[in-house]
Amino acid sequence: MIGKILFAHFYNLYLEFLIAQFIFMFNGQRRKYYWWRLLIAAVAGCGFYFLPTLNFLDFNWSYSVVFLSILIVGFFLYKKPSMIFVCTITGYALQHLTWNIMELFFELAYPNEDALSRAGAIAYYLFFFFVFYFITFLIIWKRKVFIDFDIISPSTMIATLVVLVVSLILSEKVKNWDYILRLYSIVSSLLAILVVSGAFKLSDNQKKQIELEQNNRMLQSMIEEKANQQKLAKETIDIINMKAHDMKNQISVLKNLNQAEQSSYIDEMSKSIDIYNDIAKTGNDVLDIVLTQKSLLCTSKHIKFTYICDGVPFQKMDPMDATALFANLLDNAVEAVEKEDEENRIIKLNANIKGNFICIHMENYCSKDIKFVNGVPQTNKEDKSKHGFGTKSIMYIAQKYNGNVTFSYKENIFSVNILIPV
């Protein structure tokens, strides 16, 4: 065995475990002053150079002491206890796998142990551990694996515990290794690593799925909120209509006023009735409410908002979706142009049928450059986690109806084009 030629202490085992743990937790959440902590852990491990063989109840507990020490070091270096536990055991499996492959090759290549010098054995040892550890590190680094086990699956827990128990028993109890035991140890360690690695991937996919579900729930909540806003807007429009109707009836009062009083009263009534010009009539009550509300908003902000919309094609769309789609389009546009000089506060909207598609085109002036990632405009606000959902909602609704959305920015004009099959 090459171990007989190499070392007679446990510090090398400690370092093997520490490096293996580092590899599997490379993308994990580290504690403050991590590199200083890692240096302290490596130096503190020098004490294992003097660790004697701890025999008790016919069992050598030295390996167990080293493993528990690495587990404690994990809590010193990293956050998330479940992640530390799984990665430490998986690191143990990697060390066990590498050591046994190295021993197997050594026994095949050097049947006579005396044929290899100590310097050659050290070079042989360093080569195997460097190659296997480096390849594992590249896989972890390239995949950008972040092991997040808030809830460890039973299969993962069982697999990791089996690795720990088998590794400890084989390391402590077996004195004369043969090829079958080597292969068994290699296969069990490799399978355990693969099982846990599969769990890493599953955990990563689950994390993405959870994020997607959270986004969808948030978008749905936004859609419902927009619908509630439009309900309130409808009540406002109903009041405006009643006011306009009442004003028509009040015209009869003018007959009993003198000319000067009539002129003043008519001017006041005209100003009040002007707001009626903002009420949309597209043939779709849902769109009428949205466009009217946004027209009133634009008027109050001195924004020139023009639109040509055929509301009939949107009758088949869920009212909440139609509300959220146009409300988000216009809210984003209003938010962009209200910061511009008054002469540049311009929004144009066109929605109608062309061939077999419902076509929506909206554009607004924007003096600031817009950054795009994968064709999607990015928010300019500092807290990006709380913004950008209006754009996501637009894309979500279009995709829900098998449509697509494209964004463009050219010569200070930001445009959104939506195509939805009829």
- Closest by CA to 128, choosing from 108, 109, 100, is 100
Instruction: Please say whether the dihedral angle defined by the alpha carbons of residues 306, 334, 404 and 324, taken in this order, is positive or negative.
Output: negative
Residue 110 to residue 146: CA distance in whole angstroms:
40
Run of H or E residues at 182: helix 179-250
Pick 160 or 414 by higher pLDDT. 414
pLDDT band, very low/low/confident/very high, at 404 (cuts 50, 70, 90) = very high
How deeply is 172 buried, as exposed, middle or buried, from its count of CB atoms within 10 A (0-12, 13-18, 19+)?
A: middle
**For the chain, percent of residues with pLDDT exceeding 70:** 59
Residue 193 pLDDT greater than 60, yes or no: yes
Domains of the chain: residue spans and CATH = 2-211 (no CATH), 215-421 (3.30.565.10)
- DSSP line for 114-152: GGS-HHHHHHHHHHHHHHHHHHHHHHHHHHT-----SS-
pLDDT band, very low/low/confident/very high, at 347 (cuts 50, 70, 90) = very high
Strands 372-373 and 376-377, by their bridges, are antiparallel
Pick 263 or 14 by higher pLDDT. 14
Q: 194-239 pLDDT, tens per residue?
A: 766 655 554 555 556 656 665 666 666 555 655 555 555 565 566 5
User: What are the percentages of helix, strand and coil residues in the chain, rounded to 5?
Assistant: 70, 10, 20
Question: Tokens at residue 79, please?
Answer: 């956050």
Highest mean pLDDT among 75-89, 102-116, 408-422: 408-422
* Mean pLDDT, residues 239-253 taken together: 63
- Degrees, nearest 5: CA angle 109-111-115: 85
pLDDT band, very low/low/confident/very high, at 54 (cuts 50, 70, 90) = low
Question: Tokens at residue 265, please?
Answer: 């009263």
Pick 356 or 157 by higher pLDDT. 356
pLDDT the model gives residue 415: 95
pTM beyond cutoff 0.85: no
Q: 297-326 pLDDT, tens per residue?
A: 888 888 999 999 998 888 888 888 888 899
pLDDT the model gives residue 42: 85
- Degrees, nearest 5: CA angle 409-412-418: 35
Mapped onto helix, strand or coil, the DSSP state of residue 360 is: strand
pLDDT the model gives residue 5: 47
C-alpha atoms less than 13 angstroms from C-alpha of 313 in its C-beta half-sphere: 18
* Mean pLDDT, residues 347-365 taken together: 93
Residue 24 to residue 94: CA distance in whole angstroms:
10
* Mean pLDDT, residues 7-30 taken together: 76
Cα dihedral value 268, 272, 276, 278, nearest 10: 110
What mean pLDDT is reported for the chain? 75
